[in-house]
Homo-oligomer: A and B are copies of this chain.
Amino acid sequence: MASFTNSRAGDDRIGSLAESTGCPVETIRYYERVGLVPPPLRTQGGHRVYGPEHRDRLAFILRGRELGFSLDEIRELIGLTEQGDRACVTVEAIARSHIGSIRTRIARLTRMLEALERLARDCRRGRSPSCPILETLSAAQDGVEPRPKRPTRRAN
């Protein structure tokens, strides 16, 4: 039940903000530390008191995370919201580049998945004399093709 307190209505302690947004308390504090959520007011004892603006900001961050944006990308998006809305082009650029990286990750995972499923199927059939998975991992094939000077790094 909403009881009356001496704070304004809609103000939250960190616990209730956490509960209602689904974001852990520690993470909220972390977002404040890294400058994504502005520092809220405090009680005399030092407890944080959040207003609607904080709640909105946190929600923004969480939705961004759900879409897979990094905290840096989210920071950038926040910046754009704050400086007028003609930045749609920039936003789209960020989104498109993010889409690209998601596609890459999916492709990579799909390759892994296919390889593993093949191996697991062979396991099940018992076609191999010993374990085909270990065989594959131990197989003395030629090494991977040598790495280029600038090592190609890929996100897993």
Contact = CB atoms under 8 A, between A and B. Distances in A.
Given A92-B123, A120-B92, A156-B68, A146 B22 contact: yes
A14 interface: no
Interface in A95-134: 95-96, 98-99, 102-103, 105-106, 109-110, 112-113, 115-117, 119-120, 123-124, 130-131, 133-134
Given A113-B106, A116-B99, A137-B60, A85 B131 contact: yes
A12 B62 CA distance: 49
Interface residues of A, number: 60
Contact of A109 (B88, B106, B119, B146): B106
Given A22-B145, A92-B133, A102-B116, 16 more contacts: A19-B147, A24-B147, A56-B138, A56-B140, A59-B140, A60-B138, A63-B136, A64-B137, A77-B133, A77-B134, A81-B134, A91-B131, A99-B116, A99-B117, A105-B109, A106-B110
